Amino acid sequence: MLLLKRSPKSKFMPNMYVFPGGVAADVDFSSEWIGVFDFLGRDQRQNIFDFLQRGGEGTPMFSRIREPKFSNIPSEVAFRICAIRETFEESGVLLVRDASKNRDNWWPNLWDKPSEAGFIKDQSVINEWRSKVDKDPEEFLRMCQKLKLVPDVWSLYEWSNWLTPTFEGRRFDTAFFICCVQGKPHAVEDEGETVHSQWTSPSFLLSQYKDGKANIAPPQLYESFRLIRFNISDLLKFSWHRSQYRVGRWLPVLISCADGSMMLMPGDSLYPADVKPRKCQIAGDENPVSFILTSKLVCSYAQQLEFFVKNIVELASSNQDHNQLLRSKQKYPKLISVVHRILQV
């Protein structure tokens, strides 16, 4: 997987390793993209748009009503264009298709296949347009129009949706997409927003994190535990089959304990039943007395859980049997279900 290290000067998550991506721009929703996808044929374009929405209504970032100027193309298409544009800007990896070669050939020959990232071999062309896109997001649209390229939206599979916790100063509603590519396309950090880029495996990343050699943002850490279960072919197959469904939105909630704090995820027993996405919310505020009693129980296992997670990373990195760890730690039965949940997400 491709990771980028954010600049220490970044206002959001400085020095953190993150997946490539960024904030949507107005041009990502432009009606001019209809003409770009029409390079494949009008019927094909409509089929693509319909196919990306076949799972029904998505989370609020996809389904909310937008102003007319942002409603020219489906949000499912626009946010994929955003992800492709930002990946190109930050890493130089260009996820597009040659329209002249793929006209009337996208179905069923392109769905459930790896992306052809890197098919443009002339690095000077890549560098020229990357510099333009870095200065103006609209240049990505101009590049596609001039070079007859179509953003490879059908190779991006909806993976997860994270909403920044309410206690953070800057918040983002973020869609994560999975894109499997052939080989390892040449990636170079932009030396602005990002200062280092690398292709790595989830197991290696987690081992680096365990050893204190890599700072990883919570969503990337969580998703790495999910991705460690797959090889690339199985991941592509799984993503393809799951693409008929929509993902839910995850909003981590902070829980204050007697000797620290923890982050709650949907499905955790203490996760609030009524989560307010726009209100700063700390679990237990409504009932502090019973919460204090509960938090002591939670925090009494905090160090044990940390021990388990470190050992999980070691086992995952060495491809050993996860059950070996669970069998050897029966004296912590209340943590078994937690560990199983981490491993099986």
Question: What is residue 148's predicted lDDT score, i.e. its pLDDT?
Answer: 93
- Global pTM? 0.80
Q: Supply the pLDDT for residue 238.
A: 93
| pLDDT confidence of residue 102 | 61
Structural domains of the chain ordered from first start: 2-243 (3.90.79.10), 250-343 (no CATH)
Phi-psi region of 221 (alpha: psi -120 to 50; beta: other; left: phi over 0): alpha
| CB atoms near residue 314 (< 10 Å) | 14
pLDDT of the residue at 218:
84
> Following DSSP, what letter does each residue of 44-102 receive, concatenated?
HHHHHHHHHTTT-S--HHHHS---GGG-SS-HHHHHHHHHHHHHHHHH----EEEHHHH
pLDDT of 327: 47
Is the backbone peptide bond immediately before 108 cis, with ω within 30 degrees of 0? yes
Reported as half-sphere exposure (CB side, CA atoms, 13 A), residue 45 has a value of 17
pLDDT, residue 341, reads 47
In terms of residues, how long is the chain?
A: 345
Assign residue 102 a region (left: φ > 0; alpha: ψ between -120 and 50; beta: otherwise). alpha
Instruction: Give the pLDDT means over successive 10-residue stretches in the chain (345 positions).
Output: 87 84 94 94 87 92 91 95 95 90 60 77 92 96 96 93 84 92 86 85 92 88 92 90 91 80 82 75 44 39 45 47 45 45 45
C-alpha angle with apex 155: 160 to 134, nearest 5 degrees? 85
